[in-house]
């Protein structure tokens, strides 16, 4: 497995010269109400997702709720990116949300976030730079209705196949 991670790292560094890769933004929208909603679509081939960041743009109501991110390929089973226990109720505008890279970790949230992909995975002994996502969707799952909460999302990626892109859903 070490060779695969080294290859991904070399590809990443060669493609983007040390940056996070191409950026795609999804405009602010009401968070899904007890539902699963596609945030981004992966089209045309495999990509290396280097970062997914959400930002609260309208206060999320004080309702018990959880958020979870997953990659849901067109063919195959979904892969969760976090443990699904993050509760965003009453998070102020400007709160940032991001997975650490370790699916056993809660989504990191705050007005500033420490760690990122390397931080969460280093605790497990794995050092990587993101997730390989095949064609399909990057989704947000919620467990309650917040009524008013809105978030915008940003995804950075590196195409692994010619013509592969990530688009807002």
Helix, strand, or coil (residue 151) = strand
The answer to whether 152 touches 140, Cβ cutoff 8 Å, is no
**pTM value surpassing 0.85:** no
Query: What is the pLDDT, as a whole number, of residue 101?
Result: 78
pLDDT in tens, 57-85: 998 878 888 899 999 999 999 999 999 89
Distance CA 158, CA 160 (A): 6
Mean pLDDT of the chain: 83
pLDDT tens digits along 23-65:
999 999 998 888 999 999 999 999 999 889 999 999 887 888 8
Cα gap 147→53, rounded to integer Å: 21
Mean pLDDT of the 93-108 span: 87
Angle, vertex CA 125, rays to CA 124 and CA 127, nearest 5: 105
């Amino acid at each position: 497995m070490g060779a695969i991670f080294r290859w991904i790292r070399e590809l990443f560094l060669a493609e983007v010269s040390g940056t996070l890769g191409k950026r795609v933004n999804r405009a602010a929208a009401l968070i899904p109400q007890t539902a699963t909603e596609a945030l981004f679509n992966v089209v045309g081939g495999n990509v290396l997702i280097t970062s997914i960041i959400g930002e609260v743009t309208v206060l999320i109501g004080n309702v018990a709720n959880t958020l979870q991110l997953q990659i849901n390929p067109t063919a195959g089973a979904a892969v969760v990116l976090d443990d699904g226990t993050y509760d965003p109720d009453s998070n102020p505008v400007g709160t940032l949300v991001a997975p650490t890279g370790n699916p056993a970790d809660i989504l990191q949230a705050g007005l500033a976030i420490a760690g990122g992909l390397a931080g969460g995975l280093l605790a497990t002994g794995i050092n990587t730079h993101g997730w390989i996502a095949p064609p399909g969707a990057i989704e947000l799952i919620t467990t309650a209705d917040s009524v008013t909460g809105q978030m915008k999302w940003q995804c950075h990626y590196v195409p692994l196949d010619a013509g592969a892109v990530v688009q807002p859903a």
